[in-house]
Structure 1
Amino acid sequence: MTAADRMAGFLARQSRQRVDFDALAGAADQGDSSLPCSPGRRQVLADAAQELVRRGLVLLPAGHNGWDYSVHPPLPRWVKRPPLTRAARTKPGPRAWVSQLSRLATVQLTPGDHVLLGPVNTLLRDRPDAEVIPLAERSYELYGDEKYLHGIERHRLVTRKILDVTAHLRARPAPAPLAMFELGPARWMLIVENSAAFTSLREVLGSWPDRDQVGWLGYGAGDQLIASLPTAVDSFRERDHPVDRILLYADLDIDGLECARLADARGRAAGLPALQPAVGLYRALLTRPLRAVPAVPPARLREAVSWLPPGMASDVFDLLAQGKVLRQEALPLPVLRACLDPEAPLLPQL
């Protein structure tokens, strides 16, 4: 998904016609942990803004005051969504819902709701016991578009428990699997957020002298971890190698911490152990050079750092409140290797 795609998704959820570009830029950062600190970020954002214009999703400011010229390339301070052309509405007529969808008769439905629900009603009428299949496959079958049902779990009918993905759509999520590597027989897994840190830890743990001390190593790939973590259940079962502890080593920034909290909740709901911070690695990371970023509101920070143990949480809160973060790349392979002592038990060091 490109920066423009993430911006477009953010725009689709907004009710106001005018949207601050800083909010769009924040949406572009989501899912790409390398973008916020990339020297080419501003050009990426400028290109994404032009792509949104080409898609007909936004209008850029016409006057000089609507642009930030402090650094090249200039960026808009805000964008406007073009006014919608209102088509004449025709109110859908009464519909006989199958018994599974009978609650819909008590809800005021929009024309878009009827477009969504019509094929579901037909499915439950003709095949009420249809096999539960991946959501994208059901989406293609019912609507001719594999992405039509993407994000359906956030639809108001689903959140109000009137429409159920499994019972009514006869579908289930099928997230990309967590990339996992079985390095040894120990009953733990360490998940690493960024590819560079993952590569370094794979080299260190792959050559650990006592193989019995080494377990699984996973690659979290930013906020994709939230959706992919539950798939680890199947890998543990297929390899007959369960775990008692799952550790996460991510960037010490607001995105990494919020991702950790959400992934922890999603993993526990799937029956996995709690997702714990790799405190030993974080202690080493906290000794490394800091990076400056825009500060985060304290209320949001307090909730995010609550995933960390209390002493470390207060230290990280202070750093992030000052607009400082620590990326995993600040702990390079030689330093990381020196931090881990092959003569001592491995897991406590992590």
Structure 2
Amino acid sequence: MTAADRMAAFLARQSRQRVEFDALAGAADQGDSSLRCSPERRQVLADAAQELVRRGLARLPLGQRGWDYSAHPPLPRWVNRPVLPRTPRTRPGPRAWVAQLSGLVALPLTAGDRALLDPVNTLLRDHPDAELIPLPERSYGLYGDEKYLHGIERHRLVTRGILDIAAHLRARPSPAPLAMYELGPAPWLLIVENSAAFTSLRQILGGWPDRSQVGWLGYGQGDHLAASLPTAADSFRERNHPADHLLFYADLDLDGLECARQADARGRAAGLPALLPAVGLYRELLTTRTRHVPPASAARVSEAVSWLPSDMRSQVADLLVSGKALRQEALPLPALRARLDPTAPLLPQMSGLMLAASPLANPDGAFVADGGKEGALATGADCRF
């Protein structure tokens, strides 16, 4: 490979129109260790520059300012890559959309939109009643890439109601399932965010003397919980063990509260009961030592704490705005064990609902709400400890 060849290869990798000749000379040196110290180096570089011009790969400077005359032969200080003629962009012709996608006719679509929609259009044309399958499987079938449709629910065509995952993509979400453990027959599910608190509660509930009071224990956090909570309905159905009450126990910080609100909305949309705070456990957590975190904005905090009962909101909001939070690890196994009294009904202790006084409690000690319905729980806003 000649010096001109090595300089041409270097030029081809550049994005700028003007390229310093010192950089080109360095590229020539890299392929010939003897060139750098050769007395013929300057002539070799000058000949290579002229060869680049003959190949149509470079234009040399016009005028003396663009040349180095410190020795003979003179060398250019830079070269300019020729401006290639632009290929005229052609707008794609009108697309024949199937009836289900006819609303796309009036929309300005990008090339990316068309790459997304063309396979969908073909699917609906050839198999309009295709069976609903998990989204990654549909993604692989349409695009040869199981992750192509990842995050499609945030695409502007989906958020504007123009493209529907079920009706048009013939797909359904397939989140990882919520980790759930059936510890007893009671109709409730407690979801715990951190693995340490989950391990402690699993030990306590696993040894609860009255097994009829124990229900499901789940583990989930963050975006995973919000996505996977609807899968709990499948576990309830498969085990013929439904849950009337869903409780969540997480860190008392901005992320934990926002996660709870998002998971609650996803669960309700899937037909599950409201996800309520495990107020009894949270109140105990509020007695522990805080840790410092970045202060949260008052607006986000105000929205996040709305998931908590009204008499807890201001205390938690003050903590978060001042740069403090409470981690579940601050309430370790011994403290949790001391908080949950095995001689008292379990669910009211976790939910924070006081047992009713004598006239509203049955002889077995089970809570009876007004109207005589056993086991009813107040909403988060009405919970008391």
TM-score, normalised to structure 2's length?
0.67
Residue in structure 1 matched with residue 343 of structure 2 by the alignment: 343
Change in Cα spacing, 1:338 to 1:90, as seen in structure 2 (3 Å) is: farther
Aligned to 2:6: none
Which residue identity lines up with residue 338 of structure 2 in the other structure?
A
Runs of at least 5 residues in structure 2 that lack an aligned partner in the other structure: 1-85, 351-385
- Cross-structure match for 2:252: 252
| Partner residue, 1:136 | 136
* C-alpha distance in 1 between matches for 2:310 and 2:202: 29
AA at the equivalent of 1:219? Y
CA deviation profile, 1:77-135 (whole Å, cap 9, x unmatched): xxxxxxxxx99754322111111111100111001000000100111111111111000
> Structure 1: how far apart are the matches of 2:323 and 2:185?
41
Partner of 1:215: 215
2:120 paired residue number: 120
Aligned to 2:230: 230
How far apart are residue 160 of structure 1 and its match?
A: 1.1
| Alpha-carbon shift at residue 314 of structure 1 (Å) | 1.1
Alignment root-mean-square deviation, CA: 1.3
Structure 2 SS opposite 1:166: coil
**In 2, Cα distance between equivalents of 1:87 and 1:296:** 51
1:198 aligns with 2:198: yes
The percentage of aligned residue pairs carrying the same residue is 76
How many angstroms does 1:348 deviate by? 1.1
Distance 1:348 1:223 in 2: 28
Q: How is 1:1-350 mapped onto 2 (pairs within 5 angstroms)?
A: 89-350=89-350
- In the superposition, the TM-score normalised over structure 1's length comes to 0.74
Identify if the C-alpha distance between structure 1 residues 88 and 260 changes in structure 2 by more than 3 Å, giving closer, same or farther. farther
In 1, Cα distance between the equivalents of 2:346 and 2:130? 49
- Matched to 2:321, the amino acid is A
| Structure having greater relative contact order (Cα 8 Å, sep ≥ 6) | 1
CA distance in 1 between counterparts of 2:225 and 2:96 reads 41
> Which contiguous aligned blocks of 4+ residues in structure 1 show a shift greater than 4 angstroms?
86-90
Partners of 2:132 and 2:166 within 8 A in 1: yes
Give the CA deviation at 1:140.
Answer: 0.5
**Secondary structure, counterpart of 2:307 in structure 1:** coil
Aligned residue-pair number: 265
Q: Deviations over 1:61-88 (max 9, x none)?
A: xxxxxxxxxxxxxxxxxxxxxxxxx997
